[in-house]
Chains A and B, each alone.
Chain A
Amino acid sequence: MSNATLERPETAAPNAFTQAELGWNAWLDPVPESALTERQKEGLVDIVRAKSAYFRLLAHDPDILRFRTLADKDIFYNTRAGLPRAERELAAAAVSRSNGCIYCASVHARFASTYSKRSDDVQRLLDEGVNVDLDPLWNAVVEASVALTATPVAFGPEHVRQLRAVGLDDLAIADLIHSAAFFNWANRLMLSLGEPEA
């Protein structure tokens, strides 16, 4: 085949979930760094993201990128009361594990490990899958995240009861809903616009 050299070997794409850092290659042309307009730079929110092919690809539609990014930051970083950062990251990792986004799972499993200091438990989620038995709080967070990830959505009153039973208040549950819902946004972009590289 004449274009064989343009196709990357199948083996370059990771075939297992990992907490290691992965690369990501876009399948469509990102906006070249040198060609970014002021509005596209604003869309990136943090100019360091100009180094990322993923964000420069999304910069083709800068406004939705900007508001997506600002929502993302608040959903995950605003920990004034509500759900602790570790459990938000756990939700992101569980959603990514359920949808099969190896790249997103790697990033947010690392964050979950960093904030919880429970790297072994996080690794078990990656290795064994979303039915893993961790502890009552983490099981409830993972189960709720997976139910929110199903299509049609399978999250119901039993999940809310379970989350309240492990001590989460309604703000924390709302944070969990946002974190899990948001990764259903992020996974679909990451999975469909390019692929990870080990």
Chain B
Amino acid sequence: MVHLAVALDGAGWHPAAWREPDARPDELFHPRYWGDLATEAERGLLDFVTIEDSFGPGPDRTDRVRGRLDAVLIASRVAPLTRHLGFVPTAIATHTEPFHLSKAIATLDYVSQGRAGVRVRIASDPADARHFGRREFPVPLPDLAEEAGDWVEVVRRLWDSWEDDAEIRDAATGRFVDRDKLHYIDFTGRFFGVKGPSITPRPPQGQPPVAVLSHVPEIHRLAARAADLVFLTPHDTGQAGALARELGDLLVFADVEVVLDETEQAARDRRARLDDLAEHSSDALVFTGTPAQLADHLLAWRDAGLSGFRLRPAALPHDLTAITRALVPELQQRGAFRREYESTTLRGLLGLDRPVSRYAGATR
């Protein structure tokens, strides 16, 4: 079995995607658009969708999509419209408060009843930093990575800072909570300190899965320290296998951008049409072909050791629909993908157990 996720971003990952015939560029900031994408992903039984985010200004030109909504809020807005799909919005560790994001993801886990995750991202661009105006930039990548690692550590400790059964509602003693089951996290690191406990009780999954997208050794190390799930960008099977072996303690997903059509020629033509409208370079492999060809490709990478794939639709909704309505049945026929959801939580879908709080049993 493979795990399948789809990475949602604007009108799709190709900068010309918004000009496709079925694109809805005037609805990119409307909840209906995001609701439709999420319900389509759930129709395809996908494990989860990620929602990209950035504090960055975007290209300073008029022919590209610019503007984006907060990813955690998009996820919260559409989660109640679905029942099984996981939601993994991007959070920017560099300029945000881990206390705020910890309770936000915990709350997303409550509103989705156990389907929240978070993808942690570093913002190294000085233009992002100017939006906050509090820090000298640039900051060396190893420092940003260490800070992001601390950020995740704080977020995770805060999730654990309430034991599961802390709320007791004991009428006899008048106590709503057992405060021995609430814990100060007392984190002190190089970059910041946080006292705790969280204001929000432990989320339904205990620890919503944490994901990191990595291209370089510094971020590989961050992923190994902080994440459950890592998105990598191999370009061939050999590389995929090597990366899977290197980070094998984690769930390893390959990111693949996809241009999918019924025939290979149609996909190539569409790709050429998109490329003519806008230059596009991708960090990930851009797969252009049929869903059946993509299935071959994914299964070869699975055999090399990957756990799953985060597919980036070049154009939305076209390539998402090709994934849910053609790739998924293809994988199902080959016995490589679920036919129905086997769990109502994201951890469950990913085959992760629900951990106990690290503070369970500890006394203050």
Physical interaction between A and B: no
